[in-house]
Chains A and B, each alone.
Chain A
């Protein structure tokens, strides 16, 4: 055996260790078991207690069970009993019903006897109400039942006779009443008309009564409407309603029908019951259609609507061809009154249909409680309205209105642009106010038609005219550019001022062009505000005029109005375009030499040179004063929002130019100090000139100055790479090259290495 003893020892030792560990583990387990046991012992007590209390309850539960069983059997006995009783009661109930029916039939028979005696007398006495009353009672009796009674009972021949009498009397009365009604109509005896109208339903002649009565009302309607139309045709130009006389005539017709409905509907409801208004109205609608047609015929003839529409479509067709200028246009002003009248006509028709729909729907809802019938009747109402001539007329009127309005809008704006003038003291010209006045007017008129589709179409057309024509004009004017050519700025400024103030241009193409440019720029930016306002006012106007539009309809309107937002986008682009023009021709050429003067100044100064510099006209004082006079040139002539944009343009231009010259300069500490000071004063100056924040435009410059103004190069670490300090607008490379402008003069390049990328 060549085992090494130490090896064995080691193995033993390990084994011992393992055993020790196992022992520890078991001990721990043991402790856990003891704990658990203790816990269980504790629970035993608790459970014992529970068992004891439960066993006490057991006898009580037994009693309850017995009692419940007894209760169940009692209940089932009761239910059996009640079922038996029920069976016995049923026949009794049926018997009682039969007795009731019998009684009713006997009393009906007695009624019939009496009625048959009474009806003849009543007819002879011409007491038709009384006679019809008898017939009415007779008709209320179930006729088939009556027939059976009469045939079953042999000994009731008197009943059969009475029934016969009543049937004869009914048909006799029907003929009489029809005749009498016609006679009353013929004699224009309103009292009798109403009298017999009330008798029809008693004889079961509801439809016939309504028809006859409404035909009578139609006759009255025709007479009145013809009279109104004649009056209209005789209206002289001097009359202040001359221009809307056909709309007035139409209004009178609709009001006439509305009055008829208001007066006679209660009558119909009382004597005929609810649910008859639909028949009544479909008859009246026919007359309404007939009269509308006659009115429109005259309207067309006298207002020459068709001729004008043809002319307009001719003009529109020609506008794409070369011979356009030769064609005589219609002055939009001449259409104004016509459009107004068409609008009124349409809105009246719209109101009339609304009225009809409301009244008839209410009547249907009361008259037909059955949902299915109701839906059917409402559908019929829809058909009566949608297939009526008036509805077609209404659609035609809207179509014609839209054609007229489109031409009116385009032509009026065209005129406004051609007659553009600049009032003294204004920085926008007349075409802007005029254009938006016209558009507002057109949209208002569209709103007055009461048709959402009409409003949407006019809004769409307005977007088209603004985006194509109006924006085109503005863009064209700015395309001419802002001419320079004056070396003496004050002179240029004076000329511009006087021309603007006097509303005309005195001399020279340049001033004229400058004014035109500035005014166009102003017009554009003011237009943005106008379009925004137009959008808001249209929404609220339509909200007021059509308070019951659905959310889908509202979405429709808003989608059309969103067309105005692309007009705004367009206008914003035009302002930008104009500002670019201005920057290139008027801002950049001036600013560059002023800023470049920086290069002629020493930026490595001694203390003495510093105080000397600060005592004199510093670079920045000169620059600010130059900028001030440049901005002043525009301050009066630009709108405030344009002026703000211009200040932004100037700020951006100055700061980028300044950055360039700084990069061509070397600084010492004092040079950096001055630069920092000067840039602060420049930023402060420009900030006071505008309500906008332009600090952003100086962010880079300010940082450059800060860097150049550091005392020691190591101070940069207070700023750079320190999260909490500031957001750097400079890249590491830029920063290094800026620092080198100053520190390379005094420090080694290696000093800059801790600006890490």
Chain B
């Protein structure tokens, strides 16, 4: 049995080239990858972090932005605990596509999913989307907002840690709810997001 108490699934979406893979690499491996190819399908990475002295395992799914991988990537929305929607602050079209992405999220993700809007590449000089425009969009759609640079490691750690903290808080309050409900039950033991992997004996 691995040594962690909470397991959360985080899925990154957004147009190809906005820097999703770089954000994930920066966070999980602490580097800015030089010229890797576009993501094929879905990439998978794990990082365990500590929040309030508890081990939290983040399962990070980095999706390909292109349309033709959509039927693969869509299948990951449903069980996501957090969805990071990324655009490139130096590229208007990636911002213009956000409503399309939101529609996808509405359709496939759980309504309770934690949603974060991220404007990436703030190290670049040629900004096209002012901060307040991104902020506005996020607040209109009930999302967290953060601007990052995968290249300069700006706000990347903060992004994922904030997600871990928020989800943990959610899970805890849900656990309390469950606990109350369960006192009436026969066996009274349920684990919520703690990973009761049915395959763990095979790993």
CB-contacts of B103-140 with A (<8 A): none
- Give the Cβ gap from B174 to chain A, nearest Cβ, in Å: 13
Contact B71 A457 (CB under 8 A): yes
**Which chain A positions have C-beta within 8 A of B166?**
none
- Give the Cβ gap from B175 to chain A, nearest Cβ, in Å: 13
Q: How far is the CA of A559 from the CA of B9 in the complex (A)?
A: 10
Contact B72 A576 (CB under 8 A): no
CB-contacts of A327-367 with B (<8 A): none
Q: Which residue of A lies closest to B44 (CB)?
A: A556
Whether, in the assembled complex, A402 has its beta carbon less than 8 Å from a beta carbon of chain B, the answer is yes
Q: How far is the CA of A573 from the CA of B59 in the complex (A)?
A: 25
Whether, in the assembled complex, B183 has its beta carbon less than 8 Å from a beta carbon of chain A, the answer is no
- Give the Cβ gap from A315 to chain B, nearest Cβ, in Å: 14
Contact A456 B196 (CB under 8 A): no
Cβ contact of A395, chosen from B42, B69, B191, B199, cutoff 8 A: B69
**Which chain A positions have C-beta within 8 A of B198?**
531-532, 535, 561-562, 564-565, 568
Cβ contact of A457, chosen from B72, B186, B187, B190, cutoff 8 A: B72
Whether, in the assembled complex, B46 has its beta carbon less than 8 Å from a beta carbon of chain A, the answer is yes
**Which chain A positions have C-beta within 8 A of B184?**
580
Contact B46 A648 (CB under 8 A): no
**Which chain B positions have C-beta within 8 A of A559?**
9, 44, 59
Contact B42 A456 (CB under 8 A): yes
Contact A563 B79 (CB under 8 A): yes
Q: Which residue of A lies closest to B37 (CB)?
A: A386
Whether, in the assembled complex, A403 has its beta carbon less than 8 Å from a beta carbon of chain B, the answer is yes
Contact A453 B196 (CB under 8 A): no
Q: How far is the CA of A603 from the CA of B55 in the complex (A)?
A: 57
Cβ contact of A573, chosen from B40, B42, B190, cutoff 8 A: B190
Whether, in the assembled complex, A121 has its beta carbon less than 8 Å from a beta carbon of chain B, the answer is no
**Which chain B positions have C-beta within 8 A of A645?**
186
Known: A403-B71, A460-B79. A561 touches B191 (CB 8 A): no
Contact B199 A535 (CB under 8 A): yes
Contact B195 A565 (CB under 8 A): yes
Whether, in the assembled complex, A268 has its beta carbon less than 8 Å from a beta carbon of chain B, the answer is no
Proximity bits, B155-185, A CB within 8 Å = 1, else 0 = 0000000000000000000000000000011
Q: How far is the CA of A5 from the CA of B184 in the complex (A)?
A: 92
**Which chain A positions have C-beta within 8 A of B190?**
569, 572-573
Q: How far is the CA of A416 from the CA of B44 in the complex (A)?
A: 34
Q: How far is the CA of A309 from the CA of B75 in the complex (A)?
A: 17
Q: How far is the CA of A392 from the CA of B40 in the complex (A)?
A: 11
Whether, in the assembled complex, A539 has its beta carbon less than 8 Å from a beta carbon of chain B, the answer is yes
Cβ contact of B78, chosen from A460, A568, A572, A579, cutoff 8 A: A460
- Give the Cβ gap from A443 to chain B, nearest Cβ, in Å: 13
Whether, in the assembled complex, B76 has its beta carbon less than 8 Å from a beta carbon of chain A, the answer is yes
Considering residues B69, B72, B191, which has the most beta carbons from chain A within 10 angstroms of its beta carbon? Answer: B72
Contact B203 A461 (CB under 8 A): no
Q: Which residue of A lies closest to B79 (CB)?
A: A563
Contact A580 B203 (CB under 8 A): no
Considering residues B37, B44, B68, B70, which has the most beta carbons from chain A within 10 angstroms of its beta carbon? Answer: B44
Whether, in the assembled complex, A558 has its beta carbon less than 8 Å from a beta carbon of chain B, the answer is yes
- Give the Cβ gap from B195 to chain A, nearest Cβ, in Å: 6
CB-contacts of A635-673 with B (<8 A): 645, 648-649, 652
Contact A399 B72 (CB under 8 A): yes
Contact B75 A456 (CB under 8 A): yes
**Which chain A positions have C-beta within 8 A of B185?**
576, 580
Q: How far is the CA of A392 from the CA of B46 in the complex (A)?
A: 29
Contact B71 A562 (CB under 8 A): no
- Give the Cβ gap from B190 to chain A, nearest Cβ, in Å: 7
**Which chain B positions have C-beta within 8 A of A386?**
37
- Give the Cβ gap from B128 to chain A, nearest Cβ, in Å: 29
Contact A558 B197 (CB under 8 A): yes
Q: Which residue of A lies closest to B46 (CB)?
A: A555
Whether, in the assembled complex, B17 has its beta carbon less than 8 Å from a beta carbon of chain A, the answer is no
Contact B199 A453 (CB under 8 A): no
Considering residues A386, A395, A531, which has the most beta carbons from chain B within 10 angstroms of its beta carbon? Answer: A395
Q: Which residue of A lies closest to B107 (CB)?
A: A320
- Give the Cβ gap from A355 to chain B, nearest Cβ, in Å: 19
Contact A396 B44 (CB under 8 A): no
**Which chain B positions have C-beta within 8 A of A398?**
71-72
Whether, in the assembled complex, A178 has its beta carbon less than 8 Å from a beta carbon of chain B, the answer is no
CB-contacts of B42-93 with A (<8 A): 42, 44, 46, 59, 68-72, 75-76, 78-79
Cβ contact of B42, chosen from A453, A555, A580, cutoff 8 A: A453
Q: Which residue of B lies closest to A379 (CB)?
A: B37
**Which chain B positions have C-beta within 8 A of A563?**
79
Cβ contact of A406, chosen from B71, B197, B199, B202, cutoff 8 A: B71
Q: How far is the CA of A614 from the CA of B185 in the complex (A)?
A: 38
- Give the Cβ gap from A522 to chain B, nearest Cβ, in Å: 17
Contact B44 A464 (CB under 8 A): no
**Which chain A positions have C-beta within 8 A of B59?**
559
Cβ contact of B197, chosen from A460, A536, A562, A576, cutoff 8 A: A562
Q: How far is the CA of A406 from the CA of B71 in the complex (A)?
A: 9
Q: How far is the CA of A570 from the CA of B76 in the complex (A)?
A: 19
Q: How far is the CA of A461 from the CA of B40 in the complex (A)?
A: 19
**Which chain B positions have C-beta within 8 A of A573?**
190
Cβ contact of B71, chosen from A402, A558, A569, cutoff 8 A: A402
Cβ contact of B75, chosen from A400, A457, A535, A569, cutoff 8 A: A457
Contact B199 A562 (CB under 8 A): yes
**Which chain A positions have C-beta within 8 A of B79?**
460, 463-464, 563, 566
Contact B187 A576 (CB under 8 A): yes
Known: A555-B46, A580-B185. A562 touches B72 (CB 8 A): no
Q: How far is the CA of A552 from the CA of B59 in the complex (A)?
A: 12
Contact A565 B197 (CB under 8 A): yes
**Which chain A positions have C-beta within 8 A of B191?**
569
**Which chain A positions have C-beta within 8 A of B69?**
395, 399
Whether, in the assembled complex, A131 has its beta carbon less than 8 Å from a beta carbon of chain B, the answer is no
- Give the Cβ gap from A45 to chain B, nearest Cβ, in Å: 65
Cβ contact of B72, chosen from A453, A552, A580, cutoff 8 A: A453
**Which chain A positions have C-beta within 8 A of B37?**
386
Whether, in the assembled complex, A454 has its beta carbon less than 8 Å from a beta carbon of chain B, the answer is yes
Q: How far is the CA of A454 from the CA of B72 in the complex (A)?
A: 7
**Which chain B positions have C-beta within 8 A of A460?**
75-76, 78-79
- Give the Cβ gap from A314 to chain B, nearest Cβ, in Å: 15
Contact B196 A565 (CB under 8 A): yes
Q: How far is the CA of A564 from the CA of B196 in the complex (A)?
A: 10
Cβ contact of A558, chosen from B42, B75, B203, cutoff 8 A: B203
- Give the Cβ gap from A30 to chain B, nearest Cβ, in Å: 64
Cβ contact of A555, chosen from B44, B72, B186, B196, cutoff 8 A: B44
**Which chain A positions have C-beta within 8 A of B42?**
453, 456, 556
Contact B186 A579 (CB under 8 A): yes
Q: How far is the CA of A164 from the CA of B59 in the complex (A)?
A: 71
- Give the Cβ gap from A596 to chain B, nearest Cβ, in Å: 22
Q: How far is the CA of A562 from the CA of B184 in the complex (A)?
A: 28
Q: How far is the CA of A386 from the CA of B68 in the complex (A)?
A: 14
Q: How far is the CA of A461 from the CA of B190 in the complex (A)?
A: 24
**Which chain B positions have C-beta within 8 A of A583?**
186
**Which chain B positions have C-beta within 8 A of A576?**
185-187
**Which chain B positions have C-beta within 8 A of A556?**
42, 44
- Give the Cβ gap from B21 to chain A, nearest Cβ, in Å: 14
Closest 4 pairs (CB-CB, A-B): A453-B41, A460-B75, A402-B71, A565-B198
Residue pairs across A and B with Cβ atoms less than 8 A apart, 6 shown, are: A402-B75, A456-B72, A539-B199, A561-B199, A565-B196, A576-B186
Q: A400-B71, A558-B203, A564-B198 are in contact. List 15 more A-B contacts (CB 8 A).
A: A395-B69, A398-B71, A453-B72, A457-B72, A461-B75, A536-B202, A555-B44, A556-B42, A561-B197, A562-B198, A562-B200, A563-B79, A569-B191, A576-B186, A583-B186
